[in-house]
Chains A and B, each alone.
Chain A
Amino acid sequence: MEITYDKREGGMRIEVNGRMDAITASTFEDACGKVIDEGEKMLVVDCTLLEYISSAGLRSILIAAKKLKAAGGTMCFCGLSGMVEEVFQVSGMGSMFSVTTTADEAFHS
C-alpha cells in the first residue's frame, strides 16, 4: 500500500493506493496520526486507487477518525468504488462519514 499526501487549501488529501489489510493498516493509521498532529482539521481520504479493504483496515480508519474528532476535525472519503464501496455500505461506515465522488467536492462542501 502507498500513501500520497496532497496539501490543499482547507485540508489535506490523502491518497491510498493498493490493499489496506492487517499488515498495511498501521501505515495508514500512522500517516493520518502524523497529519493530525501537524494540525490538519480536514482530511479527505481518496480511495480511487484502493483495491481492497479488510476489517483491520476499517478499524484503522475508525482509530484515525476518532483521533481527528478529538482534535476537532473531520474526515471525509471520496472515490469509493467496487469492493471498497460495498464494504463501506454494508458496514454502515458510509453513513458514519461524509462520502463524495471527488476530492474537490469534499473540499468545497
Chain B
Amino acid sequence: MQGIAFRLATLTLLFSSLIFAGIVGYNYMVSRDIIVELAEERGMLLAESTAERISSSLNSVQKVVESISFSLEDSSITRDLLGRLGRRVLSGNSEIFGTAIAFEPFGFSSDREYYTSYTYRSQNRLTHTILGGADYQYFYMDWYQLPKEFEQPIWTEPYYDEGGGNQLMATFSVPFYRKQAGHQVLRGVVTADISIARIQKLISEINANESGYVFMLSRYGTFIAHPDSELVMNETIFTSAESLEHPLLTSVGRRMIGGEIGVEEVSDLPVIGDSFIYFSPLPDQQWSIGVVFPKKEMLADVAGLNKEVAAMGGFGFFALALLITYITTKTTHPLRNLTASANHMASGDLDAQLPEVTSCDEVGELTAAFRTMQDSLKQHIADLTQTTAAKERIESELRIAHEIQMSILPKLFPAFPERSEFDVYAFIESAREVGGDLYDFFFVDDDRFYFLVGDVSGKGVPAAFFMAMTKTLLKVVAEPGLDPGDVLSKVNEDLAEDNDSCMFVTLFLAVIDVNTGEVRYANAGHNPPLILPKGEPAQWVPPENELMAGVMEGMQYTTRSMTMRPGDTIFIYTDGVTEAMNDKNELYSEDRLIEIMNDCGGLSAQEIVDTVERSLKGFTGGAEQSDDITILTLQYLGK
C-alpha cells in the first residue's frame, strides 16, 4: 500500500534530488568556466613568459655580437686580436656556444681566400681554430650568406654544424664593414652560435613542472624543441599535422609562424588527448613558443570539486530520507491505528477501542471526532431500536384494531340464504391505514330489512372508534316502528353530543319491506346511491343535502320512499370509489361508474360488485389506494 508516508517521502526526496541535481550542474558549469579561464590565463602567461625568457637570453647574445661588429669596423685586425676577442666573448657569455669572425674572400689577408676565426667550447675548455677551405666553404652557408645578402643581422634556422661546432645550433650573424674610398664595403660577418640543446634544456625544465608541455617552432614550422625527440629537427608542425590528419593543427602552425599570440582548442592530440594550445612568438628569431595543456587535466579539478559536492549532497539526501521517513512514519502511526479501529467499527463493532488522543494535531482532532461519532452512532442505534420497537408495537396494535373493526362487519355471503326475496352483497377494501368506512344490514322484524353504508371523516384509530360507535348506535336505535330519518336523528343526537373533535359520519340508511319492495331511506350527507332498474339505465337516488351525522345536535332527517320492482338493484358506495385515482392523478369519477353500471343489467348483486371492482382495479392500475372503498348492493327479487 502506498501510504501518505511513502508518497510524502517520495515526493520530497524526488523534489530535493531535482534541486540538488540542478545545484551540482550549475556548480559544475560555473566552476568549469572559472577553472578554464584561470587555466587559459596561466597557459597564456606561461607561453608569453617562456617566449620572453628565451628572447631575453637570445637578445643578450645579439647585443654582444652587434657590439663586436662595431668594434671590428676600421680596426686593424690581427690573428691574436681575433683569438682574444673570441675568448673574451665566450668567457663573458655562458649562453654562447661559439663565436666566429668570418672574412670575405681575401678580406683578412691577400694570400688567403678563406679565413674564419672560430672560438668554441669543447669539454669545458675554450678552443680556438681557423676554419675555411675547400672542405668548409662558408661563403655558401646560411649564417654567412643571409646577412651578406640582406645587409642586416640575421638568425639562421637551426642546423647541424658539420666541421664547425659539430652540434645542433642556431647562429646569429651580423655583417661588418669598412670604409673604402667613401663607401661601406662588406668585410665579413661576426656570429654567435647558441646551442639548441641549451634551449631544449630550458624548455624541458619548464615541462618538468607542468602537466602539459612546451614546444618551439622555427620560422618554417620545424620543431626546435618538443618532448618527443623524434620530432625535433625531423618534422615540421605541418608534416606532423598531415600524418595525424589534423587540419586544425595546420591552422595553428600557420598562426604560430605568422607571429600571432593566441589560443586554440585542439581535439585528440597524441598521448594527451583533447587540449588547449597557447602560443606566443619570439619576434626577433621569428620562432614561436607553444604551450599544450590537456583539457582532461584542466577539468580534473572541476571533476574533483563536483565529486565532493555530489558526495556531500548524497550524504544530505540520505540524511533527509531518514528524517522524512522517521517524521512521516511517526505522524501517520496514530492514523494507521485509527484506521484499524475505524475498520473494526465499520464491520459493526461499535465498541471498538479507539486509540488514545496523545496529540493536539489533526490526527488528535480526527480521533476525537471519531469518538464523538462512535458515541452518537451508539446513541442513535439505541434510539432507533427503541423507536422501531415502539413503531412495531403501534403498527401491531393498529393491525389488531383494523381486524376488530372488520370483524364487526357482516362478511358471510350469501347472508340470508333462506330468504328468496332479495339478494344482498357488500364489499369493503381498506386503504393502508385504518379507515372509517362501514356498512351493515339486519332485519328489524320478519319483513323489514335495514341496510346502510357510512363514511367517517378522517382516518386512523379515532375514525375506527367513531365508526364502531356509529355502527353500534344504529343497530341499537333501529326499531321496527321507526323510519330511517328518525333513526338518523336519534343517532345524530348521540354522536353530536360532546363531540369536541368535530368528527362526523355520512350515512345512507334504508329499510326495505321485502314483501312489497317499498324502500324508505334517509341520507345524512352521504353521496347519492344508484338505482339500477331492471332493463333500464342506472339513475341517481335524488340527494337530500342534509348534514352529516355528528355535526350538530337537533338535526331532523327526512325520510323518503321509493318502490323497487323485482330485478331492481340499489348500489350504495362511499366516495372511495369515485375518487379512486390512477397514476396520472385522474379520478375514477361518477361518469365512469354510471357507465359501468349500465353494463351490469341482469347481473346478480355479487356480480355487479365484482364488475365494478374489476373496472376500478383496471383504472387505477395498482396505484396506491388512498381511501377505503365500500360498496353495498341489494337486489330485490320479489315475493
Per the bound structure, the CA–CA distance linking A52 and B549 in Å amounts to: 22
Per the bound structure, the CA–CA distance linking A59 and B504 in Å amounts to: 7
Q: A58-B504, A90-B525 are in contact. Are A96 and B457 (CB under 8 A)?
A: no
CB pair A96 B459 closer than 8 Å: no
CB pair A59 B458 closer than 8 Å: yes
CB pair A62 B502 closer than 8 Å: yes
Per the bound structure, the CA–CA distance linking A55 and B544 in Å amounts to: 18
Asked if B526 CB lies within 8 Å of chain A CBs, one says yes
* A positions within 8 Å CB-CB of B: 22, 55-56, 58-59, 62-63, 66, 89-96
CB pair A92 B502 closer than 8 Å: no
CB pair A22 B459 closer than 8 Å: yes
CB pair A62 B504 closer than 8 Å: yes
Q: A90-B527, A90-B528 are in contact. Are A59 and B545 (CB under 8 A)?
A: no
Asked if B506 CB lies within 8 Å of chain A CBs, one says yes
Inter-chain residue pair count (beta carbon < 8 A): 54
Per the bound structure, the CA–CA distance linking A56 and B626 in Å amounts to: 13
Asked if B622 CB lies within 8 Å of chain A CBs, one says no
List chain A residues, Cβ under 8 A from B456. 55
Per the bound structure, the CA–CA distance linking A95 and B502 in Å amounts to: 17
- The residue on A at minimum CB distance from B458 is A56
B49 CB → nearest A CB, Å: 110
Q: A59-B502, A62-B502, A63-B502 are in contact. Are A92 and B459 (CB under 8 A)?
A: no
Per the bound structure, the CA–CA distance linking A100 and B476 in Å amounts to: 40
List chain B residues, Cβ under 8 A from A89. 543, 545
Asked if B552 CB lies within 8 Å of chain A CBs, one says yes
A17 CB → nearest B CB, Å: 18
Within 8 A of A (CB), among B466-518: 501-504, 506
Asked if B551 CB lies within 8 Å of chain A CBs, one says yes
A10 CB → nearest B CB, Å: 26
Partner of B547, one of A63, A66, A91: A91
- The residue on B at minimum CB distance from A29 is B502
CB pair A92 B546 closer than 8 Å: yes
A99 CB → nearest B CB, Å: 12
Per the bound structure, the CA–CA distance linking A55 and B543 in Å amounts to: 18
CB pair A62 B458 closer than 8 Å: no
CB pair A92 B458 closer than 8 Å: no
List chain B residues, Cβ under 8 A from A93. 525, 547-548
List chain B residues, Cβ under 8 A from A59. 457-458, 502-504
B553 CB → nearest A CB, Å: 12
Per the bound structure, the CA–CA distance linking A58 and B526 in Å amounts to: 13
- The residue on B at minimum CB distance from A52 is B579
CB pair A91 B458 closer than 8 Å: no
Knowing that A63-B501, A90-B526, A95-B545 are A-B contacts, what are 6 other residue pairs whose CB atoms are under 8 Å apart, sorted by A's residue number?
A55-B455, A55-B504, A56-B457, A58-B504, A59-B457, A93-B547
Per the bound structure, the CA–CA distance linking A59 and B548 in Å amounts to: 11
- The residue on A at minimum CB distance from B590 is A86
CB pair B547 A22 closer than 8 Å: no
List chain A residues, Cβ under 8 A from B249. none
List chain A residues, Cβ under 8 A from B504. 55, 58-59, 62
Q: Mark each residue of chain B from 521 to 535: 1 if its CB lies under 8 Å from any CB of chain A, else 0.
A: 000111110000000
List chain A residues, Cβ under 8 A from B544. 92
Per the bound structure, the CA–CA distance linking A64 and B19 in Å amounts to: 83
B556 CB → nearest A CB, Å: 12
Residue among A55, A89, A95 with the most chain B CB within 10 A? A55
CB pair B543 A90 closer than 8 Å: yes
Per the bound structure, the CA–CA distance linking A44 and B627 in Å amounts to: 30
The 8 closest A-B pairs by CB, nearest first: A92-B547, A55-B457, A91-B525, A62-B502, A63-B502, A59-B457, A92-B546, A92-B525
B386 CB → nearest A CB, Å: 27
B629 CB → nearest A CB, Å: 14
A21 CB → nearest B CB, Å: 9
Per the bound structure, the CA–CA distance linking A62 and B547 in Å amounts to: 12
Q: A22-B459, A91-B506 are in contact. Are A62 and B543 (CB under 8 A)?
A: no
CB pair A90 B458 closer than 8 Å: no
Question: What are some 12 contacts across the A-B interface (CB < 8 A)?
Answer: A55-B457, A55-B504, A56-B458, A56-B459, A58-B457, A59-B502, A59-B503, A63-B501, A90-B525, A91-B525, A91-B547, A95-B547
Per the bound structure, the CA–CA distance linking A11 and B456 in Å amounts to: 33
- The residue on B at minimum CB distance from A91 is B525
Residue among A89, A91, A95 with the most chain B CB within 10 A? A91
Per the bound structure, the CA–CA distance linking A93 and B503 in Å amounts to: 14
Per the bound structure, the CA–CA distance linking A90 and B590 in Å amounts to: 14
CB pair B551 A96 closer than 8 Å: yes
Partner of B548, one of A22, A63, A91: A91
List chain B residues, Cβ under 8 A from A90. 525-528, 543, 545
List chain B residues, Cβ under 8 A from A56. 457-459
List chain A residues, Cβ under 8 A from B458. 22, 55-56, 59
Within 8 A of A (CB), among B161-199: none
Partner of A92, one of B455, B503, B545: B545
Residue among A56, A58, A90, A95 with the most chain B CB within 10 A? A90
Per the bound structure, the CA–CA distance linking A91 and B457 in Å amounts to: 11
Within 8 A of A (CB), among B414-464: 455-459
Per the bound structure, the CA–CA distance linking A102 and B403 in Å amounts to: 47
List chain B residues, Cβ under 8 A from A22. 458-459
- The residue on A at minimum CB distance from B547 is A92
Per the bound structure, the CA–CA distance linking A37 and B525 in Å amounts to: 30
Per the bound structure, the CA–CA distance linking A56 and B528 in Å amounts to: 20
- The residue on A at minimum CB distance from B524 is A92
B114 CB → nearest A CB, Å: 147
Per the bound structure, the CA–CA distance linking A95 and B457 in Å amounts to: 19
CB pair A66 B502 closer than 8 Å: yes
- The residue on A at minimum CB distance from B548 is A91
Q: A59-B502, A62-B502, A91-B506 are in contact. Are A96 and B545 (CB under 8 A)?
A: no
Per the bound structure, the CA–CA distance linking A74 and B412 in Å amounts to: 48
B350 CB → nearest A CB, Å: 37
List chain B residues, Cβ under 8 A from A55. 455-458, 504, 506
CB pair A94 B545 closer than 8 Å: yes
Within 8 A of A (CB), among B53-82: none
Per the bound structure, the CA–CA distance linking A105 and B579 in Å amounts to: 32
List chain A residues, Cβ under 8 A from B503. 59
Within 8 A of A (CB), among B528-573: 528, 543-548, 551-552
